[in-house]
Amino acid sequence: MTTDLHSLADLSTFALVVQHRGFRQAARASGQSASALSEAVRRLESQLGIRLLLRTTRSVTPTEAGALLLSRLQPALNDVASALDVLNDLRDSPRGTLRLNVPVSAALFFLQPIVDQFMRKYPDILLDIVIDNNFVDVVASGCDAGIRYGERLEQDMIAVPIGPLTQRFAVAAAPAYLARRGIPEHPRDLLQHACLRGKFLSGAIFPWEFERDGQKLSLDPSGPLIVTPTVMDLAVNAAVAGHGVIYLFEEWLAPYIASGQLQPILQDWWLSFSGPFLYYSGRRHLPAPLRAFVDFIRAPDGADHKLATAVKKKKTSEKH
């Protein structure tokens, strides 16, 4: 196989299709047509004389040869992207795409004001945000960075605080449910209650963790409903309807507690934990969009200030 610009483009297309696990997904991400991407991969397979992808109506996965090629190809493509990205330093404002992998809670409760101000400051940067509660290898997934909590970060990742510095898990139930079943006085009492649970997409169910005066407790209560974080509002609505007790981020339950739809319980036991981090690979050259975002978060008036300002404005507007 002769290596020319056409071949390099086909190699990039192959990597893009594998990264997005399909031609349609890759087409949406790249702005090209799925048929053009499919033709590029067929051309590459013909030149190499070996099949690189297994195609079904539901998925596209690399063959053994495809996976081997990608493992050797990806570092080279990253180097090419880094070399081209150096030109960003010659521009007045960086441009390009910044792909972030973030959990549902970040998207709902603190990312919006940060994104809003970042987009105003860097209008030439396209933000591509993937909502995903599973911990992923951001490099392998094709993302530049992710947002996760400290206990779920790899040691070789660089982590920058983003969002609230501390958070809590709250426990609550509808007043009608508590009137019917009684108010738990200790976390272990929840083992006798209907509990509305959450789970990761992997199937692992979130434990309910508590702490008071240095004493820690982890429970796996049972109940009539288990949902993934992408539809956690379904569990909240079930709690409001009186189907059981819910354990969730305090920010998520706060509006329902404030309105009286839910009643907080076991508040002395609510677990406090460190807030989330922006994490990314410690490679030598950061793409200009990611470098701009990291600098934006680390600035003296960075994410915490932006978040506090946005919350203050929201509370002020709610009073009037």
CATH of the domain at 204: 3.40.190.290
Regarding whether 67 and 27 lie in a shared domain, the answer is yes
Band (pLDDT 50/70/90 cuts) for residue 190 is very high
172 DSSP β-pair partners:
246, 264
Q: Is residue 86 part of a domain?
A: no
Residue 56's CATH number? 1.10.10.10
Calpha distance 41→47 (Å, rounded): 10
Strand pairing class (125-131; 208-212): unpaired
Residue 282's CATH number? 3.40.190.10
Q: Is residue 85 part of a domain?
A: no
Regarding whether 267 and 172 lie in a shared domain, the answer is yes
Is the model's pLDDT at 314 over the cut of 60? Answer: no
- What are phi and psi for residue 262, nearest 5 degrees? -125, 150
Regarding whether 174 and 111 lie in a shared domain, the answer is no
Q: Name the domain boundary from 39, 57, 79.
A: 79
Q: Which domain holds residue 205?
A: 166-274
Is the model's pLDDT at 81 over the cut of 70? Answer: no
Supply the pLDDT for residue 184. Answer: 97
- Nearest Cα residue to 138 out of 307, 287, 24, 309: 287
Question: Cβ contacts of residue 68 below 8 Å, gap of 6+?
Answer: none
Regarding whether 195 and 114 lie in a shared domain, the answer is no
Regarding whether 156 and 119 lie in a shared domain, the answer is yes
Residue count of the chain, please give it. 320
Band (pLDDT 50/70/90 cuts) for residue 169 is very high
Regarding whether 43 and 170 lie in a shared domain, the answer is no
Q: Name the domain boundary from 79, 104, 134.
A: 79
Q: Name the domain boundary from 29, 48, 79.
A: 79
Supply the pLDDT for residue 113. Answer: 92
Band (pLDDT 50/70/90 cuts) for residue 180 is very high
pLDDT, one tens digit per residue, over 223-273 is 999 998 878 999 999 999 999 999 999 999 999 999 999 999 999 999 999
Regarding whether 111 and 232 lie in a shared domain, the answer is no
Q: Is residue 293 part of a domain?
A: yes
Q: Is residue 56 part of a domain?
A: yes
Q: pLDDT over 70 for what percent of the chain?
A: 81
Q: Is residue 16 part of a domain?
A: yes
Is the model's pLDDT at 140 over the cut of 70? Answer: no
Is the model's pLDDT at 151 over the cut of 50? Answer: yes
Q: Is residue 22 part of a domain?
A: yes
- Nearest Cα residue to 160 out of 18, 299, 305, 308: 299
For the chain, give the mean pLDDT: 83
Is the model's pLDDT at 310 over the cut of 60? Answer: no
Calpha distance 195→210 (Å, rounded): 15
HSE-CB of 43 using CA atoms within 13 angstroms: 15
Regarding whether 284 and 159 lie in a shared domain, the answer is yes
Q: Is residue 173 part of a domain?
A: yes
- Nearest Cα residue to 285 out of 93, 145, 79: 79
Regarding whether 173 and 261 lie in a shared domain, the answer is yes
Number of domains in the chain: 3
For the ranges 12-16, 137-141, 170-174, 263-267, the lowest mean pLDDT is seen at 137-141
3-class DSSP assignment, residue 7: helix
Calpha distance 113→305 (Å, rounded): 10
Q: Is residue 84 part of a domain?
A: no
Regarding whether 286 and 144 lie in a shared domain, the answer is yes
Regarding whether 114 and 72 lie in a shared domain, the answer is no
Regarding whether 291 and 250 lie in a shared domain, the answer is no
State the pTM of this model: 0.67
Is the model's pLDDT at 202 over the cut of 90? Answer: no
